[in-house]
Structure 1
Amino acid sequence: MAKQNHNQLRKQIAPYEKSSTKDSVWQVINTLVPFFVLWYLAYLSLSVSYVLTLAISVVAAGFLVRIFIIFHDCCHQSFFKNRRANQILGTITGIMTFVPYEQWKHSHSVHHATSGNLNKRGTGDVWVLTVDEYLNSSFWRKLAYRLYRNPFVMFVLGPIYIFLIEYRFNEKDARMKERLNTYVTNFSIVAVIAVLCWAIGWQAFLLIQGPIFLISGSLGIWLFYVQHQFEDSYFEHEEQWDYVKAALEGSSYYKLPKVLQWLTGNIGFHHIHHLSPRVPNYKLEEVHNNHQVLQDVQTITIRSSLKSIHFRLWDEQNKAFIGFKDLKSVKAKPKVKTSKISPSVKSEL
């Protein structure tokens, strides 16, 4: 698409960037209320069967993912017109999902501004090495990268590390507002857990919240991972990088069954979200349906998305992700100095 067409497309989407207070409030009700009801039902089911508890927890985890999408929209100032309202609801839903509002808002804005830019990796994204960077790396860096990209580490251990440990601390250069919000979030999480453990016992709390946390955390990281890590994605160096191309070619349309699309807050329309982050999640499908050019993008399904597990390195020459087994057919270029890349997976579903 030519730059003129890019600008025209963004102008066409601009009217959808206005949130609806009625729709936002209704989404809060139809998301948070069922989650609390399911949590209570899970508690009651402990006296019946833990298998039933796990079944309820799976559904509750889906609603927690939807709560995270509300949090995500608040970070983009797209859920309510009022900035203060976004901050308050964002902080509350951040406590529920174990994510500090101000901290994540900052890292996620960096992700949107640099997604697909090979010169600006390391904040709010998945650690990606190019083929040449990997082949020219030390043994220990290669080992660290292989461990990081291992599905068990990323989708099972990852949520535990990121949501329980990494998000508890501020960056060294964090602003005071961000620091205070993290402290408030951390204190609130501890307080809520303490009250629940006092009310129902720590064993019951862990039996309910444990599965909900692990399932929702894994799903959240998976959604963020798969919508940028598909075979023909988009990565360019600064001089060739283009924001609109990064959105339309580097973010996929994850076509999910309607129930899962609802639970994930339409985040499957990720290409539209990256093109215009101010569009609230409940308007993304409408934008997609009303613009043919947005339908002619990389589309993945649950089945085809599973292939992304094997994508490990970005092949700059062929403009595609490849697996470690494909390295045998690739020769390394002379070693070049590369910028520091931090292995951060601060998901931003």
Structure 2
Amino acid sequence: MTEPKHAQLRKTVAPFEKTNVKTSVRQMANTLIPLVLLWYAAYASLSVSYWLTLAICIVASGFVIRTFIIFHDCCHGSFFQSKKANDIVGTITGVLTLVPYLQWKNAHAIHHATSSNLDKRGVGDLWILTVEEYASASFISRLAYRIYRQPLVMFGLGPIYVFLIQYRFNRKGAKRKEKLNTYLTNALLVALYALLCWAIGWQAFAMVQGPIFFVSGLLGVWLFYVQHQFEDSYFEHDDEWSYVNAAVDGSSYYKLPKVLQWITGNIGFHHVHHLSPKVPNYYLEDAHNATPPLHKATTINIRESLASLRFRLWDEEAKKFVSFKAVKTRMRKAGKADEKKLSSARPSLQGK
């Protein structure tokens, strides 16, 4: 895509970079109120059946995801025009989703500025190795990477580590304001959880909050994973990297059923979001529909997205994600080819 087309594409999306206070407030109401009611319903159902509790918790976890989308928009300054309003709502929704507002805001800004850039990996993204990097890595590094990319680890232990442990500490090099916001988030979390444990008992609290936390965390990691880890994604080194190409080609359009699209705050239109983070979640679909070039973005549905579980390494030559199995087969063939060359060279060496 050429630079003039880049400029035109961003110009087409620009009209959607506006907030609507009424829509934002309405979204807060239809997200936070149901979340509180569902949490209470899950608690009340403990006296009926824990299976019913779990069913309610799964629905509630969807509203935690929707709460995170509000938090996410506040981080981009796209939920309200007022910076103060974004900061306040962002901090509150950050407590509800266990994510410190300023820490995530700053790390996520780096993610947007470096997404799909092979020379600037490591902040706000998942650990991705290229085939060449994996082949030249030590046994310990390969083992660590394979464990990290194992689905049960990434989507089972991953949410627990990230949301319960990692986000409780400040990033290296964090400035004072960011550090204070992390401390504030942790203090509010302790106060909220202590109050709930006092009100209903720690066992009941754990039986309700535990499933909601785990399911919402798993879904959150999955959404982030699948929208950048699809077969024909986009990765380039810094000298060839393009912000617009990274947005349109390196982010997928995750086409979900309407109910799930609503619950996930339209985040499936991830290509639009990466192209223009200032577009609030409730205008992402409109921006996509009004911009024909964006229709060419890779579209995946739920069934197709499951294939991404096989994609572990980025192949720079083929320009696509590949599985460990494919790389192992390639390395074995390369080894046999080298051995064959060595064998054919032995007679001539012996002759000399």
TM-score range relative to shorter protein: over 0.9
Matched, 1:29 2:40: no
Alignment-derived partner of residue 286 in structure 1: 286
Q: Quote the offset at 1:135 in angstroms.
A: 0.5
Aligned residue for 2:46?
46
Which residue is 1:246 aligned to? 246
How far off its partner does 1:215 sit? Answer: 0.2
Cα distance, 1:115 vs structure 2: 0.2
**Cα shift readout 1:286-331 (whole Å, capped 9, x = no counterpart):** 0111111111110000000000001000000000000000013435
Are residues 1:71 and 2:71 paired?
yes
List per-residue Cα deviations over 1:19-68 (Å, max 9, x = no partner): 00010000000000000000011111011111110010000000000000
Shift of 1:132: 0.4
Larger radius of gyration: 2
**Larger helix share, 1 or 2:** 2
**In the alignment, what sits opposite 2:155?**
155
Alignment partners' CA distance in 2, 1:173 and 1:204: 39
Secondary structure (helix, strand or coil) at the match of 2:47 reads coil
How far is the alpha carbon of 1:174 from its aligned partner?
A: 0.3
What displacement does 1:9 show? 1.0
Query: Where in structure 2 are the equivalents of 1:69-218 lying within 5 Å?
Result: 69-218=69-218
* AA of the residue aligned to 2:5: N
Q: What code does the residue aligned with 1:77 have?
A: G
CA distance in 2, matches of 1:79, 1:165: 28
Q: How far, CA to CA, are the matches of 2:207 and 2:299 in structure 1?
A: 37
- The alignment partner of 1:321 has SS state of strand
TM-score normalised according to structure 2 size: 0.94
Residues 204-241 of structure 1 deviation map (CA, whole Å, 9 limit, x = unaligned)? 00000000000000000000000000000000000000
* CA displacement at 1:2 relative to structure 2: 1.5
| Amino acid aligned to 1:299 | T
Q: Secondary structure at the match of 1:165?
A: helix
Helix, strand or coil: the match of 1:279?
A: coil
Q: Does 1:299 align with 2:299?
A: yes
Q: Structure 2: which amino acid aligns with 1:123?
A: V
Aligned to 2:2: 2
SS in 2 for 1:46: helix
Counterpart in the other structure of 1:340: none
Please list the CA deviations of residues 71-124 of structure 1 after superposition, one character each: whole Å capped at 9, or x if unmatched: 000000000000000000000000000000000000000000000000000000
Q: Deviations over 1:191-214 (max 9, x none)?
A: 100000000000000000000000
Q: Distance in 1 between matches of 2:296 and 2:136?
A: 37
Give the counterpart letter for 1:71 in structure 2: F
Q: Following the alignment from structure 1 to structure 2, what is the Cα–Cα distance between the partners of residues 160 and 174?
A: 23
2:272 maps to a residue whose letter is I
Q: In structure 1, give the amino acid aligned to 2:88.
A: I
Aligned residue pairs, count: 333
Name the structure 1 match of 2:343.
Answer: none
Take 2:327 and 2:284, find their aligned partners in 1: how far apart are those partners? 38
Distance 2:2 2:331 in 1: 34
- Runs of at least 4 residues off by over 2 Å: 328-333
Question: What SS class does the counterpart of residue 126 from structure 1 fall into?
Answer: coil
d(CA) in 2 for partners of 1:246, 1:25: 32
Q: Which residue type is aligned with residue 106 of structure 2?
A: H
Equivalent residue of 2:314, what SS?
strand
In 2: Cα distance, 1:278 partner to 1:329 partner: 44
Q: Distance in 1 between matches of 2:198 and 2:297?
A: 51
Amino acid at match of 1:111: H
Corresponding position of 1:344 = none
Could you tell me how far apart the structure 1 residues matched to 2:38 and 2:323 are? 40
The percent of aligned pairs where both chains have the same amino acid is 65
Cα distance in 1 for partners of 2:2, 2:82 equals 35
CA distance in 1, matches of 2:41, 2:210: 15
TM-score normalized with structure 1 length? 0.94
Q: Supply the AA of the counterpart residue of 2:308.
A: S
2:342 maps to none
- Whole-angstrom distance in 1 between the partners of 2:52 and 2:93: 26
- What is the SS of the residue equivalent to 1:58? helix
